[in-house]
Amino acid sequence: MTAAPDSPLATLWCPSPNREPRRNGRTPDMLVLHYTGMDSSEAALDWLTREESKVSCHYLVDEEGGITQMVREAERAWHAGQSLWAGETDLNSCSIGIEIHNPGHDIDYRDFPEAQMEAVEALCLDIFARHPIAARRVVAHSDIAPGRKRDPGEKFDWARLANAGIGLWVTPAPLEGALGLGPGDEGEAVAALQRDLDAFGYGVEITSTYGRGLENVVEAFQRHFRPERIDGRADASTRDTLARLLVAAQRAPIA
């Protein structure tokens, strides 16, 4: 292992022991964005580079926009945990993980500062220059672990990143009064919703029943793509936004 970061934008290189070779010959074709959920980025860096934590990521972006690399892109970092996207479960082997410092929902969830978003945007574009990553494979930790994770959360500016060519975004359909489908509902409309979420990449079983698992996935979808109301109900705005994203996903080029 060399002592130099992969990204010229990383001004600090603090190797984490929590890394290993990527499995099955995988190379990065996915980006997973996180928030740290800790009091400070210094505390996050300390934790992510401690052997006992058993967690790590490739990059950490602090609130001032400073970028630290701790695992080489060629290696497997331990950031995704139990997760699923597009039918795959070993997402650490195919992804690059970026931790974006924010204390998060349990401590003090706040807006991501401009300097930090600028750094995240530049870092993603820099990674794309080395790895082909499809727009639909730029995801939130909450997308791949619904019900378990909420990061980076509804305050994260996905629209801004999409404007720069990072990830998929359509303007969310406006909210309407009707509540749509929700927990307890059954039938073909629920199955159709499950099929659409599954086709987009979420881990959903086609059961025709709106259970807790589906509610968690709809909440994760809303947190990322329709943040105005996060209630786990498939209202008309949620359905319409998902339908247009499916079309956009087909059209989007690989970065």
Kindly list the catalytic residues.
Answer: 99
**Which region, judged by CB under 5 A, interacts with Zn ion, from 45-53, 103-111, 141-149, 176-184?**
141-149
What does the DSSP assignment read for 167-204?
S---PPPPP-S---B-TT-BSHHHHHHHHHHHHHT---
**Which region, judged by CB under 5 A, interacts with Zn ion, from 32-40, 44-52, 189-197, 221-229?**
32-40
Residue of 151, 196, 215, 235 interacting with Zn ion (CB under 5 A)? 151
How is residue 17 written in tokens? 């022991």
How would you class 166 by CB atoms within 10 Å of its CB: exposed for 0-12, middle for 13-18, buried for 19 or more? buried
Q: Can residue 137 be called a binding residue for Zn ion (CB under 5 A)?
A: no
The 95-134 site mask, x for binding Zn ion (CB under 5 A), equals: ----------------------------------------
Those residues whose C-beta lies under 8 Å from the C-beta of residue 110, and which sit 6 or more positions away, are 102, 103, 155
Instruction: Tokens 């650490």: give the residue.
Output: 92
Residue of 34, 76, 101, 136 interacting with Zn ion (CB under 5 A)? 34
Distance of alpha carbon 135 from alpha carbon 138, whole angstroms: 6
Nearest distance in Å: CB 236, Zn ion: 30
Residue of 19, 141, 224, 239 interacting with Zn ion (CB under 5 A)? 141
Alpha-carbon separation of residue 181 from 15, 175, 207, 254 (angstroms): 47, 14, 14, 33
* Bridge partner residues of 234 (DSSP): 181
Nearest distance in Å: CB 208, Zn ion: 31
Nearer to Zn ion, 73 or 151 (CB): 151
**Which region, judged by CB under 5 A, interacts with Zn ion, from 33-41, 113-121, 161-169, 206-214?**
33-41
Nearer to Zn ion, 102 or 238 (CB): 102
Q: How far apart are the first and last CA of the chain?
A: 27
Instruction: Tokens 């499809």: give the residue.
Output: 134
Number of residues assigned to the chain: 255
Nearest distance in Å: CB 150, Zn ion: 9
Q: Which helix (H) or strand (E) holds 115?
A: helix 114-128
Q: Can residue 224 be called a binding residue for Zn ion (CB under 5 A)?
A: no
Q: Can residue 219 be called a binding residue for Zn ion (CB under 5 A)?
A: no
Q: Which helix (H) or strand (E) holds 46?
A: helix 41-48
Nearer to Zn ion, 143 or 151 (CB): 151
Residues forming contacts to Zn ion in the complex (CB under 5 A) are: 34, 141, 151
